[in-house]
Structure 1
Amino acid sequence: MASNINWAAIDNDPRFQALHKKKTTFLWSLMIISTVYYFLLPIGAAYYPELFKIKVWGPMNVGILFALSEFVVAWTIAAVYARRANRQFDAMAAEIVRDSNLIK
Protein backbone atom coordinates (compact mmCIF):
# COMPACT_ATOMS: atom_id res chain seq x y z
CA MET A 1 0.00 0.00 0.00
CA ALA A 2 1.73 3.14 -1.21
CA SER A 3 0.81 6.49 0.28
CA ASN A 4 1.62 10.00 -0.77
CA ILE A 5 2.83 11.98 2.19
CA ASN A 6 2.51 15.73 2.13
CA TRP A 7 6.04 16.59 3.21
CA ALA A 8 5.48 20.32 2.68
CA ALA A 9 2.66 20.27 5.24
CA ILE A 10 4.89 18.49 7.74
CA ASP A 11 7.76 20.91 7.14
CA ASN A 12 5.48 23.91 7.63
CA ASP A 13 4.01 22.56 10.88
CA PRO A 14 5.36 24.68 13.77
CA ARG A 15 5.48 21.57 15.96
CA PHE A 16 7.79 19.88 13.46
CA GLN A 17 10.01 22.95 13.39
CA ALA A 18 10.09 22.94 17.21
CA LEU A 19 10.91 19.22 17.19
CA HIS A 20 13.71 19.77 14.69
CA LYS A 21 15.16 22.66 16.71
CA LYS A 22 14.97 20.71 19.98
CA LYS A 23 16.57 17.65 18.47
CA THR A 24 19.30 19.65 16.72
CA THR A 25 20.17 21.55 19.91
CA PHE A 26 20.29 18.32 21.90
CA LEU A 27 22.47 16.56 19.32
CA TRP A 28 24.90 19.47 19.11
CA SER A 29 25.18 19.44 22.91
CA LEU A 30 25.97 15.73 22.92
CA MET A 31 28.48 16.19 20.10
CA ILE A 32 30.29 19.00 21.92
CA ILE A 33 30.46 16.97 25.14
CA SER A 34 31.78 13.90 23.34
CA THR A 35 34.31 15.88 21.30
CA VAL A 36 35.67 17.71 24.35
CA TYR A 37 35.96 14.45 26.28
CA TYR A 38 37.62 12.72 23.31
CA PHE A 39 40.28 15.43 22.96
CA LEU A 40 41.02 15.46 26.69
CA LEU A 41 42.97 12.22 26.19
CA PRO A 42 45.61 13.49 23.73
CA ILE A 43 45.74 16.90 25.40
CA GLY A 44 46.16 15.33 28.82
CA ALA A 45 48.78 12.90 27.54
CA ALA A 46 50.70 15.73 25.88
CA TYR A 47 50.55 18.36 28.64
CA TYR A 48 50.18 16.23 31.79
CA PRO A 49 52.14 13.04 31.07
CA GLU A 50 53.09 12.56 34.73
CA LEU A 51 49.42 12.47 35.70
CA PHE A 52 48.67 9.90 33.02
CA LYS A 53 51.59 7.71 34.18
CA ILE A 54 50.30 7.32 37.74
CA LYS A 55 49.83 3.62 38.46
CA VAL A 56 46.36 2.70 39.66
CA TRP A 57 46.45 -1.10 39.77
CA GLY A 58 49.15 -3.36 38.39
CA PRO A 59 50.11 -2.19 34.90
CA MET A 60 46.98 0.01 34.71
CA ASN A 61 47.65 3.72 34.87
CA VAL A 62 45.46 6.83 34.73
CA GLY A 63 46.04 7.20 30.97
CA ILE A 64 44.80 3.69 30.18
CA LEU A 65 41.81 4.08 32.47
CA PHE A 66 40.97 7.43 30.89
CA ALA A 67 41.22 5.90 27.42
CA LEU A 68 38.91 3.05 28.47
CA SER A 69 36.51 5.55 30.03
CA GLU A 70 35.91 6.96 26.56
CA PHE A 71 33.98 3.79 25.73
CA VAL A 72 31.81 4.29 28.80
CA VAL A 73 31.21 7.92 27.84
CA ALA A 74 30.26 6.93 24.27
CA TRP A 75 27.82 4.28 25.52
CA THR A 76 26.36 6.73 28.03
CA ILE A 77 25.86 9.37 25.35
CA ALA A 78 24.16 6.77 23.12
CA ALA A 79 21.90 5.72 26.00
CA VAL A 80 21.04 9.33 26.84
CA TYR A 81 20.13 10.01 23.23
CA ALA A 82 18.07 6.82 22.91
CA ARG A 83 16.19 7.62 26.10
CA ARG A 84 15.43 11.18 25.02
CA ALA A 85 14.44 10.07 21.51
CA ASN A 86 12.14 7.34 22.82
CA ARG A 87 10.48 9.51 25.46
CA GLN A 88 10.33 12.92 23.85
CA PHE A 89 11.24 13.12 20.17
CA ASP A 90 9.26 10.05 19.09
CA ALA A 91 6.22 11.23 21.06
CA MET A 92 6.40 14.64 19.42
CA ALA A 93 6.73 13.09 15.96
CA ALA A 94 3.82 10.71 16.60
CA GLU A 95 1.67 13.64 17.67
CA ILE A 96 2.49 15.53 14.48
CA VAL A 97 1.66 12.49 12.38
CA ARG A 98 -1.55 11.80 14.31
CA ASP A 99 -2.82 15.38 14.15
CA SER A 100 -1.78 16.19 10.59
CA ASN A 101 -3.45 15.27 7.38
CA LEU A 102 -0.34 13.66 5.92
CA ILE A 103 -1.90 11.59 3.16
CA LYS A 104 -3.05 13.48 0.09
Structure 2
Amino acid sequence: MSTAVYERIRKNPKFDELVTKRSRFAWLLTALVLGIYFVFIMVVAFNPTLLATPIWEGGKASIAWPIGASMILLFWLMTGLYIRRANGEFDDINSEIIKGAIE
Protein backbone atom coordinates (compact mmCIF):
# COMPACT_ATOMS: atom_id res chain seq x y z
CA MET A 1 0.00 0.00 0.00
CA SER A 2 1.05 3.52 -0.68
CA THR A 3 1.69 6.28 1.79
CA ALA A 4 -1.50 8.01 0.62
CA VAL A 5 -3.56 4.96 1.54
CA TYR A 6 -1.95 4.86 4.99
CA GLU A 7 -2.78 8.54 5.43
CA ARG A 8 -6.43 7.93 4.50
CA ILE A 9 -6.56 5.05 6.98
CA ARG A 10 -5.13 7.21 9.79
CA LYS A 11 -7.54 10.08 9.03
CA ASN A 12 -10.59 7.81 9.01
CA PRO A 13 -12.64 8.36 12.21
CA LYS A 14 -13.35 4.63 12.34
CA PHE A 15 -9.62 4.03 12.79
CA ASP A 16 -9.63 6.01 16.03
CA GLU A 17 -12.79 4.16 17.08
CA LEU A 18 -11.08 0.82 16.40
CA VAL A 19 -7.95 1.77 18.32
CA THR A 20 -10.00 3.06 21.26
CA LYS A 21 -12.30 0.02 21.46
CA ARG A 22 -9.49 -2.49 21.06
CA SER A 23 -7.24 -0.76 23.59
CA ARG A 24 -10.01 -0.33 26.16
CA PHE A 25 -11.00 -4.00 25.88
CA ALA A 26 -7.40 -5.22 26.06
CA TRP A 27 -6.67 -3.07 29.13
CA LEU A 28 -9.87 -4.25 30.82
CA LEU A 29 -8.92 -7.90 30.35
CA THR A 30 -5.36 -7.17 31.45
CA ALA A 31 -6.59 -5.47 34.63
CA LEU A 32 -8.89 -8.42 35.39
CA VAL A 33 -6.12 -10.97 34.96
CA LEU A 34 -3.63 -8.98 37.02
CA GLY A 35 -6.22 -8.24 39.71
CA ILE A 36 -7.22 -11.88 40.08
CA TYR A 37 -3.61 -13.02 40.08
CA PHE A 38 -2.62 -10.31 42.60
CA VAL A 39 -5.40 -11.34 44.99
CA PHE A 40 -4.35 -14.99 44.69
CA ILE A 41 -0.70 -14.15 45.42
CA MET A 42 -1.72 -11.98 48.38
CA VAL A 43 -3.72 -14.89 49.82
CA VAL A 44 -0.69 -17.15 49.32
CA ALA A 45 1.55 -14.63 51.04
CA PHE A 46 -0.64 -13.53 53.94
CA ASN A 47 -3.07 -16.40 54.57
CA PRO A 48 -1.58 -19.64 53.21
CA THR A 49 -3.59 -21.77 55.64
CA LEU A 50 -6.75 -20.75 53.80
CA LEU A 51 -5.46 -22.37 50.61
CA ALA A 52 -4.23 -25.38 52.60
CA THR A 53 -7.80 -26.21 53.67
CA PRO A 54 -8.66 -29.75 52.51
CA ILE A 55 -11.38 -30.08 49.87
CA TRP A 56 -13.12 -32.73 52.00
CA GLU A 57 -12.70 -33.88 55.59
CA GLY A 58 -9.56 -35.99 55.95
CA GLY A 59 -8.55 -35.46 52.31
CA LYS A 60 -5.05 -34.67 51.13
CA ALA A 61 -5.98 -32.31 48.28
CA SER A 62 -6.42 -28.67 49.25
CA ILE A 63 -8.74 -26.05 47.80
CA ALA A 64 -5.72 -24.39 46.17
CA TRP A 65 -5.83 -26.97 43.35
CA PRO A 66 -9.34 -26.19 42.06
CA ILE A 67 -8.83 -22.45 42.62
CA GLY A 68 -5.61 -22.49 40.57
CA ALA A 69 -7.20 -24.63 37.86
CA SER A 70 -10.21 -22.31 37.76
CA MET A 71 -7.96 -19.30 37.35
CA ILE A 72 -6.17 -20.92 34.41
CA LEU A 73 -9.49 -21.89 32.83
CA LEU A 74 -10.84 -18.35 33.34
CA PHE A 75 -7.75 -16.83 31.72
CA TRP A 76 -8.14 -19.16 28.71
CA LEU A 77 -11.80 -18.17 28.43
CA MET A 78 -10.86 -14.50 28.56
CA THR A 79 -8.33 -15.08 25.77
CA GLY A 80 -11.06 -16.80 23.76
CA LEU A 81 -13.37 -13.85 24.40
CA TYR A 82 -10.74 -11.46 23.09
CA ILE A 83 -10.15 -13.61 20.00
CA ARG A 84 -13.90 -13.83 19.31
CA ARG A 85 -14.30 -10.05 19.54
CA ALA A 86 -11.14 -9.44 17.51
CA ASN A 87 -12.29 -11.78 14.74
CA GLY A 88 -15.78 -10.29 14.77
CA GLU A 89 -16.27 -6.65 15.70
CA PHE A 90 -12.66 -5.49 15.33
CA ASP A 91 -12.12 -7.22 11.97
CA ASP A 92 -15.40 -5.79 10.65
CA ILE A 93 -14.33 -2.24 11.54
CA ASN A 94 -10.87 -2.92 10.09
CA SER A 95 -12.40 -4.11 6.80
CA GLU A 96 -14.55 -0.98 6.58
CA ILE A 97 -11.50 1.21 7.16
CA ILE A 98 -9.44 -0.53 4.47
CA LYS A 99 -12.32 -0.55 2.00
CA GLY A 100 -12.83 3.19 2.52
CA ALA A 101 -9.13 3.91 2.12
CA ILE A 102 -8.70 1.95 -1.10
CA GLU A 103 -11.74 3.45 -2.85
Query: What is the SS of the residue equivalent to 2:2?
Result: coil
CA distance in 1, matches of 2:42, 2:49: 13
Partner of 1:12: 11
Percent sequence identity is 26
CA distance in 1, matches of 2:9, 2:72: 37
Structure 2 gap segments, 5+ residues each: none
CA distance in 2, matches of 1:82, 1:59: 38
Partner of 1:85: 86
CA distance in 2, matches of 1:43, 1:73: 19
TM normalised by structure 2 equals 0.85
Query: 1:62-90 CA deviation, whole Å, 9 max, x = no partner?
Result: 22222222211220111110111112000
Structure ranking higher in strand proportion: 1
CA distance in 1, matches of 2:38, 2:65: 14
Amino acid at match of 1:86: N
Alpha carbons 1:45, 1:63 under 8 Å: kept: no
Structure 1 gap segments, 5+ residues each: none
Alpha carbons 1:41, 1:63 under 8 Å: kept: no
CA distance in 1, matches of 2:101, 2:21: 20
Alpha carbons 1:45, 1:52 under 8 Å: kept: yes
Partner of 1:68: 69
CA distance in 2, matches of 1:15, 1:59: 56
TM superposition shift of 1:45:
1.3
The aligned length equals 100
TM normalised by structure 1 equals 0.84
Query: 1:22-69 CA deviation, whole Å, 9 max, x = no partner?
Result: 100000000000011112221111222222111115432122222222
Structure with the greater relative contact order (CA < 8 A, sep ≥ 6): 1 or 2? 1
CA distance in 1, matches of 2:55, 2:20: 44
Partner of 1:94: 95
Query: What is the SS of the residue equivalent to 2:55?
Result: strand
